[in-house]
Structure formats: structure tokens, C-alpha cells
Amino acid sequence: MRLGFVGTGALSSAIVTGLKSLPGETTPVAVSPRNEEIAADLAQRFPDVRVAADNQAVLDQCDTVMLAVRPQIAREVLGELRFRPGHHVVSLIATISREEIASLVAPAARVGKALPMPMIARLQGATLVCPPDPIVAAFFSRLGGVIEVEDQSEFDALTVVTATYASYFKYLDTIHAWVRSQGVAGDKARDYITSIYKALANAPDTMPNADFMHLAQDYATRGGINEQVLRELTERGAFEAFAESLGRVHRRIAGG
């Protein structure tokens, strides 16, 4: 594989960093010159990474090209480029459909979407790949895992998961702020919360056949303090409001 990136921003940088952290990894990578600082940093850190003269030079040097510009400029940028029929195009642009990308990169015939997350830099967090593609799946499976997705509607629904990170941290922050209000030092509270939530994140792996509600019930001992918080939040509609918010995000993503 000769890999190229059109758009060298946060996400491209994370993918290249993750890729090049793999032992013995020598895939040649061409990155576009924007962002100048990020491109130069990648080329300086990794001997197989070169900064191409422009976006067209990226395409000319690679067989597999990841599109990682912001959606607002994607149509203009792609419209100016000449793709080859043999180019394998992987769009990382979250909000433009595979069909539209395929029309913008014609005559490239093999076109798919992938949704990696920035934690790929540390080889963590699975990447969604749509439609299933053995080459793209093999690539991302080494970088934190891959979930292959059959169609756009499944892809859109799973994409909604990525809208919940900030509220997850707000949830932890609520716990942290409350514990601090009781006079506990901030660092101590942070260390404890981090340690416990890391352990909880492993629970689904230790009980692979249990769904999340089963895990919730497992922790909610009858009459206990977990049951109390779960019941009080449920009664006040916290989870219902959360689910409604997911629905609104989905309508935004899927354009419905």
C-alpha cells in the first residue's frame, strides 16, 4: 500500500501516529502540505512520511487515499483533483455520503467511508468501515480495531455514539465536583474516579454475553446506593432526555 492523505489535520496526524507506532511499519505515506506545521511534524517524526507538493501530488504518489479535509471545503477541493480508476479512496469526512464522494472522485471505482477517532494515535477505539472492505478493515484493525458496517443507515446510527463523549466527561465532572464540594482534594478525587471508571470500562469484556442493562442490574444491588441513583435519575427522566438527544443528533447526521 502507498498511502496518501488529502488534508493533514488532527485526524490524519492521529492515524499516521498510530500507524507508525506499530513495530516494523514501513508503509510509505504522502501527506498534503496543509496544515504546514502538522505535515512537517509528521515528516520529521517518521522517515516514511513525505510532504507532497500539493493535493494532486498526493494522489499521484499513492494508491490508497484518505480524504480528511473539513466537509465545508471538500467539494471544492475534490473537484479540482484528478483521480485514477485504480485509486482506492477512503473518505473520513463524516457528513458527506459515500455516493456523493464517489461522484466527486470518479473515475476512482473503489470508494468507501471510515470513521476513526483521534484516540487511534494510541491504537485505541475501533474504526467504523462502510461498506465492508478487507483492505481497509485490515488497515484499521491494527490501529485499535474495526467494526465493519453494511450500509449508510447502520453507519449513521453508529456515528451517533461519537456524539456522547462530551456528556460522558460532564458525567464524570459532576461526580468530581460533588466529591470536591465535600472537601476532598481535586487530584485525589480525579485519581479515584479515573481508576474506577477504567475498571468499569472493562466490565463488558469480562462478561461478553451480558448486555448493558444486565450490567446495570448487576451493579444495582436491591436497596443499595447504585439502585438509588439509577432509580432517581430514571424517575427524573435523565435517560429519556439523553435518548431523545441521540435521536435529534441522528436526524442531523442522517438528514432526516
Ligand X SMILES: NC(=O)c1ccc[n+]([C@@H]2O[C@H](COP(=O)([O-])OP(=O)(O)OC[C@H]3O[C@@H](n4cnc5c(N)ncnc54)[C@H](OP(=O)(O)O)[C@@H]3O)[C@@H](O)[C@H]2O)c1
Position among 55, 89, 105, 143 found at the interface with ligand X (CB under 6 A): 55
Is 32 a binding residue for ligand X by CB under 6 A? The answer is yes
Is 101 a binding residue for ligand X by CB under 6 A? The answer is no
Report the nearest approach of ligand X to the CB of residue 199 (Å): 26
Taking alpha carbons only, the member of 116, 84, 88 closest to residue 1 is 88
Nearest residue (CB) to ligand X, 95 versus 103: 95
Is 115 a binding residue for ligand X by CB under 6 A? The answer is yes
The C-alpha atoms of residue 241 and residue 247 are separated, in whole angstroms, by 10
Judged by CB under 6 A, which stretch of 114-122, 127-135, 218-226, 244-252 contacts ligand X? 114-122
Spacing of C-alpha 93 from chain mean position: 11
φ/ψ of 220, rounded to 5, equals -95, 75
Q: Is 101 within 8 Å of 67 (Cβ atoms)?
A: yes
Report the nearest approach of ligand X to the CB of residue 9 (Å): 2
**Closest residue to ligand X using C-beta atoms:** 9
**Helices marked H in 46-117:** 55-61, 71-79, 98-104
For helices 36-45 and 10-20, angle between their N-to-C axes, nearest 10 degrees: 0
Q: Is 4 within 8 Å of 105 (Cβ atoms)?
A: no
Judged by CB under 6 A, which stretch of 99-107, 110-118, 172-180, 181-189 contacts ligand X? 110-118
Contacts with ligand X: how many residues (CB under 6 A)? 24
Nearest residue (CB) to ligand X, 96 versus 184: 96
The C-alpha atoms of residue 236 and residue 243 are separated, in whole angstroms, by 14
Judged by CB under 6 A, which stretch of 63-71, 122-130, 132-140, 166-174 contacts ligand X? 63-71
Residues 116-175 that bind ligand X (CB under 6 A): 117-118
**DSSP-assigned states of every residue in 199-211:** HHHTHHHHSTT--
Report the nearest approach of ligand X to the CB of residue 11 (Å): 3
Q: Is 112 within 8 Å of 8 (Cβ atoms)?
A: no
Report the nearest approach of ligand X to the CB of residue 101 (Å): 11
What residue ranges bind ligand X (CB under 6 A)? 6-12, 32, 34-35, 38, 55, 68-71, 73, 77, 92-94, 115, 117-118
